[in-house]
Copies of this chain bind each other. A is one copy, B any other.
Amino acid sequence: MFKAKITVTLRTSILDPQGKAVEHGLHSMGYTSVSGVRIGKHIELEVHTESRDEAERVVKEACERLLSNPVMEDFSFTLESVKRSVHAEG
């Protein structure tokens, strides 16, 4: 079983009104040293496959087909192997 952590971000060429609103809010609260706020998605999921290659394929396809909008978003992810049974690792 693998645990995937996926980050989906708006491409830099795409305006981010939500980020601008947050930035404005932070400035109003006195945090004037903050700029360039961009807001994306963080997705965590488990993939129950035997091999890392298969898990990678599933996550990549899920990102391309459902989790991100390929026209205006980029994605990246990490995969971490999760052992369900306790055993010693070298």
A interface list, Cβ under 8 A from B: 7-9, 19, 22-23, 25-26, 29, 31, 33-49, 54-55, 58, 61-62, 65-67
Which residues does chain B contribute within 8 Å of A44, judged by CB atoms? 9, 36-38, 40
* A42-B7, A44-B9 known; A66 vs B36 contact (CB < 8 Å): no
Bound-complex Cα distance A62 to B39 (A): 14
Residue among A40, A43, A55 having the largest count of chain B Cβ atoms under 10 Å: A43
* A29-B65, A65-B29 known; A45 vs B23 contact (CB < 8 Å): yes
Q: Is there an interface contact between A25 and B66, defined as CB atoms closer than 8 Å?
A: yes
Listed from nearest, the 3 A-B pairs whose CB atoms lie closest are: A40-B42, A42-B42, A36-B46
